[in-house]
Structure 1
């Protein structure tokens, strides 16, 4: 097969793959213009004339219309040359013998039993042994050589897909530095967050060419520009999937056989049932992080098994973080976005984001060029992170991947200032207190914030966390009503201590209250055990004496710090500068 070499000194876009040569009269490429992969239980499997994966029953391979669709126009001419049809006088009809084509397919299938468990590779960057492979739909760059899709190699199928884009030369490191600089325009809660965000984006572009795929959750208060950020991340990555409403099944089906980033905005859940749906999404994403990713088998109505192979790096975003389990802390990095200051630099404009979209293929070409260096750079950061925090090797995988992906996209030199790079991610390494709280305490708070109040509002029962948002709202009417509602359910929003009117709002949770007992009924926190786990949250305070939250008796409480509460706003994203 004719190939085009992709070199490091490449100074122009590579030409598209050449058209396959016309087959001689007596034979076609690989014995014919299609590839017969084998058969199983009366079904035959192929790569058709375009390289698409096809399956036909034993009955269908004897029907002319199905054969025509399988072989295509030029393939039909090959069939005419190979298996000419004759009329009753023995003269060629200009068509082909269906029986001859049928027998040829059966002969090509021979004794090959098709392996239905073989994975299929679609759009994005992959590893195939030591090779880095870029599947761009109608062409595949295999370790620097362009090939036609529609072949079997390294234990996988490589079928054709719709063309992704016109190939561009690799972007220079300076263009990637500009993209990282754009990400600094947001008001991040921690220094280094923009660089971590850029590293996460780089990991998404690198797809399945890297052994660990990091995930992230962006907690963004209203008017923080969260949706604009998601738009930028999607525009700069031509393989990314951007959604704002989804289920586990939808993510699994949409990302199957792709090596791409999943960008999931609006990952908020009001009711407990919705929170459980989000938990299923997070549980599935957990499987996609390492190795071959999530390999899922599901039964279908006809009794056959359907396979889903998903490898992705996901970035989610919402006002309130979901209920992360202890194993999620090392797979999902949390980044916090604050409302932009009035005098801060504006976010990227729509024109700038459109420009990023036009340059996205060059960013992917850059990723393809530098991906072979990833493991060499990753080992440097991984070793440094293990030395920094030897108790969390999985965290070293997560943050080491983020740093290594960022470095190879920005530089062609080995990492030198490793200590400076580690400073960018120190805030993302959980403290011993954080790790201790990731189990029961975090889950207890999550259950409380997603519980429903008894009070009816607009025909619906409001959720605690949205009522907390209302209790911090600027509108006095909304604020006062929300505070009364929370107080009726054993909670109060206010400063700590209460007399400090300039203090940040916190959430007071009573140790005893009938409505709180109802919310926790049937859970492991029933019987007033919620106070034990809530008191173990990072930054939580247990006042030494009972507190008078309103008129009436004083009562013992646990104080939930501001950092663990949802951010004020109307729930919209408010991307104004």
Structure 2
């Protein structure tokens, strides 16, 4: 025996961390999922037996500022972050446990043991000494490890586990009473316990939670436990009672009532300790209507300052026999609960019991579809946990047995919705799914994330097929897993030097391309995603760079050619956040196809607008794109200025047959050929640094277009983080911004042209009467071509009033804007082009020109200097514009 004591002391003397302690409690390969409960956030995360390292990281992250608890019973499945699970869904009961409070640490009327010394005296007299003793800061937790945990497969096994743990608790309470002391009743199988190696923060002081004794080999057989406990007396038989306001349904669900009634949630949760006697009894009257009501009542009542098990049992019995659960009206008026008026059930039900007494509840288990909510078009969204896709379904589909069997086997539905004549009751299953989706609320596709690297509230989420922490706000899908190595080291300097071996027209663009390679694996983390377009003559190195990018971004990249269609690329990406690399994006291919892909890239820059493709046959939804593109081609013609403001152009020149440079490039390409997984893992480890690095550079780039600033700062920031592993200092940002000033100015020319297009679009889209100004000009141009000049036409007179002139057949065809025209000034009022700055912007448009001679304006009856615009920008004329009426939107010009 002394050897065992010495062994236990030796184990306790070395530091036992929270994870090792939990392994001793549950076993390395436990059933179900274990819970990590966090205060003060009241959040719970769940981990299965493969996630010990993830659990350890989470404990390490949280333990400094939170109270952390394990739970003695594991749950069947992962639950929401707001739930610790219920007794009914326990999967494994891993041991027995008592909570010993010290009188010196608690201001209570209860007769707690005086201190640790008094507790030790009682502990040493126990017939079965505990396997572990944990000092909590206010007392001690004693644990008894089982040689075989209760693994719950059937209802009778759950009842057996509940019976043993409740009886053991009563036995320990009796032992303490014999010694003139008390302990709280903690006999339920969802009891939480503190983790050694963490802190007790209650009361403000940080008290360490310390393992005082620990012998993981000291495990007890169930027969040993049952020999010392007194079996609970069989409850007296009593006539079946009548049902209450929930007539026609089975016993109510305690957790459903808590979710639906704010008063009941408070009085059976945080508000138990301060509940008055009437409030406590009112809660008992509702709990008495619930499945496992007696056990649930004692579990939450243990936190009440006046709790005594025998007295509480009498109170609960009175609630059962009274057969009258507290009504909503009484809770609102007699108990004064303010939240009743905001309750969605207000005026619709008589008692909170009815919230948990509805039709059969749906449980997705491991293979059933998970209800996510409903959409605006009347469909319901469900997640298929096996295929890891989200499925939209109509009510008609959900009520169809064939559709239901398409997402889960009939045996699954039959277990929950039995029908003696058919494999299962499809109508009941469908109604339960619809109700569950309605409870989940509106479904937001923007909250869906596919494969890739993401960020959620300053936490990096690597959604590549590995375990994802429960309790995250968004839905994470991974249809096909992607593997990255755990090693996050990379020779970034060698990669940056390799890019500088290529002959860019502006050598600084090599560093910007390096920045793009850095953001590409983690593009889902970014609020704004720049794209790049490498172009140049044949044999300038475009295909080599394409191959390098593909190698570095494998396995996260989607690599293709310009023959691909926009629809094909969009479907390949889906909800994923993976970079897209397109080679041979040539202008001699079908322009419509190329333009549609460019438009796709534009929408992916911010990715805030969802693309919903719900179909009646249950295909997976598609979502907003969050990706970044790499294009390469001989030339980038066909890009509009608006496109070029999102896609940075990097021009390559013909190389000079430098053999030394060629050998170095060849050697480095071979070195990086299979380094994609390491590069992606490396940048994933640095993802949280990109945003602050970008902001550091943006702060030193005032006075320029915001989109250009974000583009350049993002690439500079990502490149700096990749090279240095940190955010730049202010001085470093100032120096680098100055070094890239000329490069930034080159890219700014493209943005200025985009500003010109936006200004012209604003002018031409301006509503005049029932149509746009662009239509007025287009119609007048067509009429002049078909009929000839005719100043009496309403459109001609109207355009003249705005000081807009037009030439059709002379050597400078186009329409002309009078510089400083008052009517055009009014159109640009309250925009960034107000006060005449529209003239400066529009002159930068590629189709703008300065007429060689002054232009005649009929409204002024003289010639004047003007800005000429080629007709290419005009829309096709549709119906004849209606004349603007006085007081209409065209009331800027009331004379018409």
> TM-score, normalising length from structure 1?
0.60
| 1:251 aligned onto 2:569 | yes
Aligned-CA RMSD value: 4.6
Of 366, 377, 385 in structure 2, the residue corresponding to residue 48 of structure 1 is 385
Kept in 1: contact 2:381–2:437 (CA 8 A): no
Q: Match for residue 465 of structure 1?
A: none
Q: Residue deviations 1:287-319, cap 9 Å, x none?
A: 2212x3453356979999975411111121111
1:327 aligns with 2:655: no
Higher relative contact order (CA 8 A, sep 6+): 1
| Shift in alpha-carbon separation, 1:332–1:50, aligned structure 2, 3 A | closer
Q: Which has the larger radius of gyration?
A: 2
Query: When the two structures are aligned, how many residues end up with a matched partner?
Result: 419
Distance in 2, Cα, partners of 1:359 & 1:427:
33
Instruction: State the partner residue of 1:379.
Output: 695
- 1:422 aligned onto 2:737: yes
Question: Is the 2:392–2:618 Cα contact (8 Å) retained in structure 1?
Answer: no
* Matching of residue 396 in structure 1 with residue 731 in structure 2: no
CA distances 1:377-419 after superposition (whole Å, capped 9, x unpaired) = 1111111122xxx132221100000011112222223314324
Matched, 1:32 2:336: no
Distance in 1 between the 2:812 and 2:582 partners?
Answer: 35
Distance 1:164 1:376 in 2: 28
For 2:666 and 2:647, the matched residues in 1 are separated by 29
Measured after TM superposition, the shift of residue 335 of structure 1 is 0.6
Deviation at 1:325, TM superposition (A): 3.1
In structure 2, C-alpha distance between the alignment counterparts of 1:296 and 1:220, rounded to whole Å: 34
1:331-346 counterparts in 2 under 5 A? 331-344=646-659, 345-346=661-662
Deviation at 1:37, TM superposition (A): 3.2
Residues 250/529 of structure 1: CA separation in 2 closer, same or farther (3 Å cut)? farther
User: What are the superposed Cα offsets for residues 446-492 of structure 1, whole Å, 9 maximum, x if unpaired?
Assistant: xxxxxxxxxxxxxxxxxxxxxxxxxxxxxxxxxxxxxxxxxxxxxxx
Distance 2:616 2:363 in 1: 36
> 1:229 Cα shift?
1.0
1:171 to 464, 472, 488: 488
Matched, 1:406 2:406: no
Distance 1:69 1:433 in 2: 55
Cα shift at 1:284: 2.9
What secondary structure, in the 3-state scheme, does the structure 2 residue paired with 1:260 have?
Answer: coil
Who is 1:289 aligned against? 605
Q: What CA distance in whole angstroms lies between the structure 1 residues aligned with 2:674 and 2:627? A: 23
Where structure 2 has 5 or more consecutive residues not aligned to the other structure, the ranges are 1-45, 61-76, 79-90, 92-150, 159-360, 758-805, 817-842, 851-896
Asked if the contact 2:373/2:382 (under 8 Å) is kept, the reply is: yes
| Displacement after TM superposition at 1:7 (Å) | 6.0
Residue 117 of structure 1 deviates from its aligned partner by 4.8
Q: Tell me the distance in 1 between the aligned counterparts of 2:754 and 2:582.
A: 23
Q: Paired residue for 1:139, among 452, 455, 466?
A: 466
SS in 2 for 1:264: strand
Instruction: Write out aligned runs for 1:85-164 (5 A).
Output: 98-99=423-424, 103=428, 106-113=431-438, 115=442, 117-119=444-446, 120-136=448-464, 138-140=465-467, 146-147=468-469, 153-154=472-473, 156-164=474-482
Structure 1 distance, partners of 2:152, 2:668, is 48
1:30–1:168 Cα change, 3 Å: farther
State the shift of 1:201 in Å.
1.1
Contact persistence 1:196–1:424 (CA under 8 A) = no
Q: Distance in 2 between matches of 1:362 and 1:127?
A: 20
Q: Is the 8 A contact 1:267 1:317 kept in 2?
A: yes
Q: Mean alpha-carbon deviation: is it higher for 337-346 or for 324-333?
A: 324-333
Using a 3 Å threshold, how does the CA distance of structure 1 residues 59 and 395 change in structure 2: closer, same or farther?
A: closer
Q: Matched residues in 2 for 1:129 and 1:243: separation? A: 34
**Cα shift at 1:278:** 2.3
From 580, 593, 598, the equivalent of 1:262 is 580
Q: 1:262 to 1:184 in 2, by over 3 A?
A: same
Residue equivalent to 2:199: none
The equivalent position to 1:241 in structure 2, one of 542, 555, 558, is 558
Cα distance in structure 1, aligned partners of 2:620 and 2:387:
26
Gaps of 5+ in 1: 11-18, 88-96, 141-145, 442-522, 543-577
What's the TM-score once normalised by structure 2's chain length? 0.40
For residues 536 and 45 of structure 1, the distance between their equivalents in structure 2, rounded to whole angstroms, comes to 51
